[in-house]
Chain A
């Protein structure tokens, strides 16, 4: 790299943004990583390892690995709880307006000892870690739950904190930053399955989403039925919920879900050997190298049903009844399950449109950001703005990493050639 170092802004601290940040920083670019949430890692930070008796290559461990690397990297400045408010061209680069919401806990001081949560009088707790193994490893205050922000005179956390990290008077901070290049890696939002009423999500306690399954395994270490906390004896996965679906205007394949269901099915069969697992599907999508060999293994443990369910009903005795067409038998069938997991699709992020306007980039018909040419470059606008990860279209972890690295390479290449 050049003698005087170059600067890059990365918007989004999910796996694509983290991969780009790491590559750039390793190549001597000064990186500022902006994350909207109080912790980085994105949805991936809430996924679980899907190893059964062997590694099933879900790649989730990489997200943790990357989070630790970002936290320790001297070349990366991490701004959590922050958003980009404005972007203007300035010379070859940009001037960026950033806004950081108060966390009320100084993450430079917090040792994550947990005393504040222990003493916090509200239930659920108002001061907490965003999640276990959070990066930054620092607590924050949820204003909506905190008594102090409801006019009460409670300062328990501030008083007990042994390192004086809590500051209930902290205010939002605005700042500007000059950078040479921007990588947009704002990720996705899982499809909200309550829009598909026939699948009963929200009405039936034992219908959960893919993300809820991931969180159960990650944070509780086991899988239970939400209705009674018991282990399910039978689990069904329904694929393509909100993907490949013109009625939901999501006419694309979300790419991660077939492999997700198959890996999770193996995990369930490993943890709960008595539990039967079925997968309802349309077409099974390959997930990288060695997929067929993997599929053959899963087929021995799991019932694949080539049909999309028509409707779900809840009964007190038989659990959730799934109605579907047994195509080979030529008749309508019903089957009961203790737990139903909806493999929800990937949809554009909530504020994708607003951010597109702020940054001067374009979203396609499906709402995902678009590159400006079809020559393989990830450039999203004239000037040095690039895309990476699921904000550009549905992707699994590996493809997001690959694209993050490609975006970083384009930035390095552009910044180097300018000298």
Chain B
């Protein structure tokens, strides 16, 4: 506490919207007579530049050390005033805003009530200003190097973008080759190029790029440190080594699972998943052998039976139904719960497929069943729009030469282990959870770790590219200044009180707390949200300027009139 610091209280009339409805003169007198405030001044509208310059020079002249501004909501101009303080050589941490506009003058019709509330609020803010403690921002050097985990399209694209922006990247891949699942695709609905060529071109670029180091058959085994300075322990064929990197990109993609329990039929020569069909179509010999001939093959695509909610399976069914129709003149059918067309080109493909004679069934809650007789497979399919009143929903039997079933898109097997190593969160379906679902979707809950592509949710190639781009810009703005600003000693713990119950470790939303003999927070990861301090059963943790003592003093100031 610093009772002797020079405190300034500055009122803003905000045009007349505050001064007409609050008795500023009375406020000034009351603040003056309460004592402890050295400088009081009234301004017309403090958000305007000339007035700020006036404020700045006044603060310098009077040697003000702590500042209370009584005006509009801190949401509007807190940042602006923080800059003004900085210009006047005052630590912006010593700024307190009392909202006497939105919370006083605008809400109370009687001048007296508004003035009384404003006074109480200012008294509280002055007491807060007195109790504030200084802490500095320190610069931590930021490593201009990034570790990307996963050699699929997401990892490749992010690495290339980062390299273009002048960063070094180490790209690790657990299998023996780069390219990922895209290599298995025959065709993409969003890009015209053959996906295999497309991803191969990226692999070639990465191979030629001097900024990118490729390590295959390599896994991350341990991670320490904070943004700008992570130490990643990686293991390549039994050999471990440490890498110093500034940020981590997680681009591990997804995996598929065939849910036999939902379909009641086994995979076989005639029953394949969508991915298996891609692999057949990718090989001209295999697909010619299967589909070429005088007898037109009956092919049925089924989607929507297994609780997946992505448009990807509809896209895949439309794309391949059109392809089989066009190339081999197969008799193609699609049975779906919903036609998911909320994506680029999908409605167009749906229309084209109908024009070309692909037959669609919307089963609307009555999913198809499958009957096998030796090697013969019949699907019994119903269609909602063919239903006719009391007669019920008619069913159509389709003999299938090929049955193409949607598979579940699931996290890869090593997700759990990787999650543990990185100490980041998983979402409800087991994919990595972005920090805020909306704002910057590539951020994880841990600062400096970014999630790119299908490891956070299933997506198509163009969406993966958008993710890679976002992650690259985020990393550039994080690392390119060469240093990261970190609050010094903001988080404190009384080691004697810590019983190592690890409540804080479990509650910390940012994975910032670890422990040795007592809990310790990483200054680089800590966002000063205060969750640990409020949860700590021993009251051992305090976040500076929001300590229990400070908050209690402020409350007392309001209650002791």
Contacts and interface: CB of A to CB of B under 8 A. Distances in A.
Contacts of A65: 439
Interface stretch (A83-91, A204-212, A217-225, A405-413): A405-413
A290 B427 contact: yes
A375 B201 CA distance: 12
B559 interface: no
Interface in A168-209: none
Contacts of B456: 289
B388 A330 contact: yes
Given A253-B346, A285-B342, A113 B364 contact: no
A290 B470 contact: no
Contact of A111 (B47, B75, B439): B47
B276 to A, nearest CB: 24
B16 A115 contact: yes
B518 interface: no
A376 B192 contact: no
A397 to B, nearest CB: 7
Interface in A111-157: 111, 113-115, 137
B344 interface: yes
Contacts of B461: 376
B298 interface: no
B429 A290 contact: yes
A395 to B, nearest CB: 10
Nearest to A366: B348
A300 B390 CA distance: 26
Interface in A262-314: 283-293, 295, 306
Given A115-B15, A374-B193, A375-B193, A289 B472 contact: no
A283 B439 contact: no
Interface in B293-320: 307-311
A406 B338 contact: no
B166 A416 contact: yes
Interface in B33-55: 44-45, 47-49
A286 B465 contact: no
A57 interface: yes
B165 A253 contact: no
A406 B480 CA distance: 18
Interface centre among A68, A137, A252 (most CB of B within 10 A): A252
A244 B14 contact: no
Main DSSP-derived SS at the A contact region? loop
Contacts of A327: 384-385, 387
B80 interface: yes
Contacts of A292: 307-309
A251 interface: yes
A413 B428 contact: no
Contact of B165 (A74, A109, A416): A416
Contacts of A26: 473, 477
Nearest to A108: B48
B258 to A, nearest CB: 19
B289 interface: no
Contacts of A244: 341, 347
A283 B340 contact: yes
Interface string A23-58: 100110000000000000000000000000000010
Contacts of A1: 480
Interface string A321-338: 000000111110000000
B168 to A, nearest CB: 15
Contacts of A343: none
Nearest to A282: B339
Interface residues of B, number: 74
A258 B385 CA distance: 21
Given A402-B463, A409-B470, A162 B191 contact: no
A75 to B, nearest CB: 11
Contacts of A406: 465-466, 469-470
A413 B164 contact: yes
A27 B477 contact: yes
B341 A283 contact: yes
A292 B311 CA distance: 12
A379 interface: no
A62 interface: yes
Interface residues of A, number: 65
Contacts of A329: 389
A412 B340 contact: no
A326 to B, nearest CB: 9
Contacts of B477: 23, 26-27
A82 interface: no
A172 to B, nearest CB: 25
B438 A62 contact: yes
B348 A252 contact: yes
Contacts of A68: 75-76
A280 B546 CA distance: 51
A57 B438 CA distance: 8
B465 A376 contact: yes
Interface string B396-431: 000000000000000000000000000000011101
Given A408-B473, A416-B164, A331 B389 contact: yes
Interface string A156-167: 000001110000
Given A111-B15, A285-B342, A330 B470 contact: no
B17 interface: yes
A77 interface: no
Contact of B428 (A258, A290, A408): A290
Given A290-B429, A402-B470, A412-B476, A162 B15 contact: yes
Contacts of A351: none
B462 A376 contact: yes
Which residue of B338, B441, B463 has the most chain A CB atoms within 10 A of its CB atom? B338
A117 B195 CA distance: 60
Given A293-B428, A375-B193, A27 B15 contact: no
Contacts of A115: 15-17
Nearest to B440: A405
Nearest to B464: A376
Given A163-B45, A374-B193, 20 more contacts: A65-B439, A68-B76, A72-B80, A109-B48, A115-B15, A161-B15, A163-B15, A283-B341, A284-B338, A285-B311, A285-B342, A287-B342, A295-B309, A306-B364, A328-B393, A329-B389, A374-B190, A401-B438, A409-B469, A413-B472
7 contacts: A23-B473, A113-B17, A137-B76, A283-B338, A286-B309, A403-B466, A405-B473
Q: Which 7 A-B pairs have the closest CB atoms?
A: A330-B389, A409-B469, A113-B15, A376-B465, A285-B342, A291-B309, A113-B17
Interface of A: 1, 23, 26-27, 57, 59, 61-62, 65, 68, 72, 74, 108-109, 111, 113-115, 137, 161-163, 244, 246, 251-253, 255, 258, 283-293, 295, 306, 327-331, 374-376, 393, 397-398, 401-403, 405-406, 408-410, 412-413, 416-417
